[in-house]
């Protein structure tokens, strides 16, 4: 078998929606963008949504629109995709890395509290792998210290915390539509906010700094080309209409993995449920227990790949990346560094079959057994 790590779920409905846009003269900043933004805002439960070219662009514009700049600090976990920290650096602010919780792999509120200084301007709470962060604790810390909260919900569309969908808690939230996400627009992202002025500024910044009431070639401030095309929006809107089906399929895949692997010794599986939240399955990431070394993990990954199974080491800590040498000593991150040496993301997508999951799990079990015999 050849099983990819991820694969988009595109149906004839999406293809027809994209084709219909191609027959129109409006390919940018048109009705599909407006419809996608409105539907997305309604789904999350906020007033304003702004479509952008990527989730990274969304994170960047949140930092800029909140006037976070040179010398300011933003608290962020290191156990995440590098875009979260990069967006902070784009505005010459400083990412301050804090450790994660061992059970959820999300930012630790206790570590956040300890990392605040007189230069801290915001907390970036990331819903890692679709598991909601402890937003009530994060928001309470932010309120006491007069800090902004940015939710990085790029991996968590449809997840809920305390009965509310993630993306509705912070001053701003960001979603991404890369092909491995719950829904895809090919590329793209969306910023959500309850703040009308913040939304207006982000709309201007995505379009070279031009506000809607200005002449076409008049630009009030430095902006960017972070527009999302009508083609992307048509695809994303069609996918969003299928969101309940998509989330159901992904939950079924997670349950299949759980049933196959729950009795395998040496593995720590992601929790299927939590007491106060609803998981939106972005990936299925297992952890090896402490009887395995990082060399064992890497050998397992290579053997799975040799068997035609797409897998990955999710995540390599940001503070240990070559481009972040200057931030390596920002704080001690023992949980982040220990977890990152034991994680393996298994193939995960809507239409993976039970036979494929069975093959992945059987190959993983045999590989673990061989390593124990060795």
Residue numbers annotated as active site: 181
Adjacency order of strands within the sheet including 160-161: 164-165, 160-161, 277-278
CA pair distance 349, 333, nearest whole angstrom = 31
Q: Do you find a cis peptide bond into 315, omega within 30 degrees of 0?
A: yes
> CA–CA distance from 77 to each of 109, 119, 157, 311 (Å)?
11, 17, 19, 23
CA pair distance 244, 150, nearest whole angstrom = 25
CB 53 within 8 A of CB 187: yes
CA pair distance 5, 217, nearest whole angstrom = 44
Strands (E), 206-299: 267-268, 277-278, 284-288
Return the H-helix or E-strand segment holding 263.
Answer: none
């Amino acid at each position: 078998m050849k099983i990819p790590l991820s694969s988009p779920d595109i149906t004839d409905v999406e293809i027809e929606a994209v084709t219909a846009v191609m027959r129109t003269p409006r390919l940018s900043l048109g009705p599909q963008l407006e419809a996608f933004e409105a539907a997305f805002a309604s789904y999350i439960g906020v007033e304003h949504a702004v479509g952008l070219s990527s989730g990274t662009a969304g994170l960047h514009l949140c930092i800029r629109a909140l006037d976070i700049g040179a010398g300011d600090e933003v608290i962020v976990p290191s156990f995440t995709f590098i875009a979260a920290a990069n967006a902070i650096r784009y505005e010459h602010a400083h990412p301050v890395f804090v450790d994660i919780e061992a059970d959820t792999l999300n930012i630790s509120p206790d570590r956040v509290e300890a990392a605040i200084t007189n230069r801290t301007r915001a907390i970036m709470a990331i819903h890692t792998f679709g598991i909601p962060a402890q937003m009530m604790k994060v928001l309470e810390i932010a309120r006491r210290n007069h800090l902004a909260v940015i939710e990085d919900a790029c991996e968590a569309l449809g997840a809920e915390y305390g009965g509310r969908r993630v993306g509705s808690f912070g001053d701003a939230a960001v979603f991404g539509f890369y092909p491995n996400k719950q829904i895809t627009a090919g590329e793209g992202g969306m910023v959500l906010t309850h703040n009308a002025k913040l939304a207006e500024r982000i709309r201007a910044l995505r379009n070279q700094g031009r506000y809607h009431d200005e002449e076409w070639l008049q630009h009030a401030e430095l902006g960017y080309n972070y527009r999302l095309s009508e083609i992307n929006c048509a695809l994303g809107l069609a996918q969003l209409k299928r969101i309940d089906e998509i989330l159901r399929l992904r939950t079924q895949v997670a349950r299949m993995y759980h049933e196959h692997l729950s009795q395998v010794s040496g593995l720590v599986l992601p929790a299927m449920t939590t007491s106060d939240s609803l998981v939106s399955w972005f990936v299925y990431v297992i952890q090896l227990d402490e009887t395995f070394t990082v060399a064992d993990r890497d050998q397992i990954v290579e053997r799975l790949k040799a068997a035609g199974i797409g897998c990955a080491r999710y995540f390599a800590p940001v503070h240990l990346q070559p481009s972040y040498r200057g931030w390596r000593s920002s704080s001690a991150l023992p949980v982040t560094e220990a977890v990152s040496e034991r994680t393996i993301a298994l193939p995960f997508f809507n239409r993976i079959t039970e036979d494929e999951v069975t093959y992945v799990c059987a190959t993983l079990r045999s590989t673990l057994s061989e390593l124990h015999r060795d």
